[in-house]
């Protein structure tokens, strides 16, 4: 009898162990494609480097795509989906319409990967890898990208409008928005540092340069010449005046001078709780880089689809 109980107990332990191992196996891993598509990292890296050599601005576009993807129901490639008969997707949400770029580039990455590893690597993972690689190409830090995300089979413009932070947000609104994604004030400030590269449309900073007092007057006036109170909505200005295609800490130095282009940028240095972090990152780029990598890894792990959830889309723009 004792022997029978021992065998039963052993069986329970083995089954439970298998269950735990199976559950753990569905989590993201740096080596997820080690046996199924070991070339994926080199393929995406080579494509990213060749693209940014010709069009460095695309680095900011890829980073923004990944950010906007992760903030809407997790990092699942939903932002890449075109509208169809069952849903209106995220591409025409307020934060993305006539503004989000890089979709064709992700298509190119996917096509290259499909040649070597058909039906294996998700669009969400390709975007995560390309975001890291583009940051490095532009002079920023590198990090270990955890992989194993699967692609969403749906998207929601309504959710994109709800969850993607707006350039008009106050610090309080930004903190609440990031907290809802499990991200801290440190994450908020470090990830905002991505605005050290890229451009912004007149519509996103018009209110800041005409209505706010927390802005250098000469800076505001110079922008008003380019962005009038009415019209010229699609005029673009640099998020970082000095080094718009170099990933560095000048974004934070600009904030100290009250030269943040967006209201949501300057809110990070406005006599409030984020001031000390802005000062720290402005004084030491290595501290900014260190926190940025931690925060990017954390953000990239927001509610990924794994295991049997979602699918591996063959075409990033549509469900299989």
In a domain, 54, yes or no: yes
Asked whether residue 108 falls in the same domain as residue 185, the answer is: no
Asked whether residue 209 falls in the same domain as residue 259, the answer is: yes
Q: Does the pLDDT value for residue 232 go beyond 90?
A: no
CATH of the domain at 50: 1.10.520.10
Across-strand partners of 171? none
Angle in degrees, CA 129, 198, 77, rounded to 5: 35
What is the domain range of residue 69? 37-161
Computed from CA positions of residues 260, 265, 269, 270, in that sequence, does the dihedral angle turn out positive or negative? positive
pTM of the model as a whole: 0.89
| Domain stop point among 128, 161, 194 | 161
**Residue numbers belonging to the annotated binding site for substrate:** 165
Asked whether residue 62 falls in the same domain as residue 145, the answer is: yes
Closest CA to 126 of 230, 4, 32: 32
Catalytic residue among 68, 179, 225, 236: 68
The per-residue pLDDT for 2 is 52
Asked whether residue 150 falls in the same domain as residue 101, the answer is: yes
**Residue numbers belonging to the annotated binding site for heme b:** 195
Distances (CA, A) of 75 to 85, 125, 163: 23, 9, 13
Q: Does the pLDDT value for residue 298 go beyond 90?
A: yes
- For residues 123-141, give the mean pLDDT: 98
CATH of the domain at 265: 1.10.420.10
| One-character DSSP codes across 83-144 | P-SS---STTSTTTTTT---HHHHHHHHHHHHHHSTTTS-HHHHHHHHHHHHHHHTT-----
Asked whether residue 216 falls in the same domain as residue 151, the answer is: no
Asked whether residue 293 falls in the same domain as residue 184, the answer is: yes
In a domain, 186, yes or no: yes
Does the active-site annotation cover 68?
Answer: yes
Q: How far apart are CA 260 and CA 240, in angstroms?
A: 8
In a domain, 244, yes or no: yes
In a domain, 123, yes or no: yes
Q: For 246-264, how does the pLDDT look when each residue is reduced to its tens digit (9 = 90+)?
A: 999 999 999 999 999 999 9
Q: How far apart are CA 68 and CA 78, in angstroms?
A: 10
- For residues 182-210, give the mean pLDDT: 96
In a domain, 317, yes or no: no
Asked whether residue 100 falls in the same domain as residue 193, the answer is: no
The per-residue pLDDT for 3 is 53
**Proportion of the chain above pLDDT 70, given as a percent:** 92
**Residue numbers belonging to the annotated binding site for Ca(2+):** 69, 72, 74, 76, 78, 90, 196, 240, 243, 248
């Amino acid at each position: 009898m004792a022997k029978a109980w021992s065998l039963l107990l052993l069986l329970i332990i083995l089954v439970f162990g298998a269950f735990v191992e199976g559950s753990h196996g569905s989590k993201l891993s740096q080596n997820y494609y080690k046996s199924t598509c070991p070339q994926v990292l080199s393929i995406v890296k080579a494509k990213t480097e060749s693209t940014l050599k010709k069009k460095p601005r695309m680095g900011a576009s890829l980073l923004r795509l990944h950010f906007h993807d992760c903030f809407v129901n997790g990092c699942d490639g939903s932002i890449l989906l075109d509208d169809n008969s069952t849903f209106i997707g995220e591409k025409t949400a307020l934060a993305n319409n006539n503004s989000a770029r890089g979709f064709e580039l992700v298509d190119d990455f996917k096509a290259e990967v499909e040649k070597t590893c058909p039906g294996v690597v998700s669009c969400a993972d390709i975007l995560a890898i390309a975001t890291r690689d583009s940051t490095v190409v532009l002079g920023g830090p590198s990090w270990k990208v955890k992989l194993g995300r699967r692609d969403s089979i749906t998207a929601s413009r309504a959710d994109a409008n709800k969850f993607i932070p707006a350039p008009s947000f106050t610090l309080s609104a930004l903190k609440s928005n990031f907290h809802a994604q499990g991200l801290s004030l440190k994450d908020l400030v470090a990830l905002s540092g991505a605005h050290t590269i890229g451009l912004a449309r007149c519509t996103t900073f018009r209110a800041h340069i005409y209505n706010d007092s927390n802005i250098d007057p000469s800076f505001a006036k110079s922008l008003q010449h380019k962005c009038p109170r009415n019209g010229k909505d699609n005029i673009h200005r640099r998020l970082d005046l000095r080094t718009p295609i170099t990933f560095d800490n000048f974004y934070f130095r600009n904030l100290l001078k009250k030269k943040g282009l967006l209201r949501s940028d300057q809110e990070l240095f406005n006599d409030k709780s984020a001031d000390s972090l802005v000062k720290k990152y402005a004084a030491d780029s290595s501290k900014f880089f260190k926190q940025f990598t931690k925060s990017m890894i954390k953000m990239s792990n927001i509610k990924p689809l794994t295991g049997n959830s979602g699918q591996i889309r063959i075409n990033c723009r549509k469900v299989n």
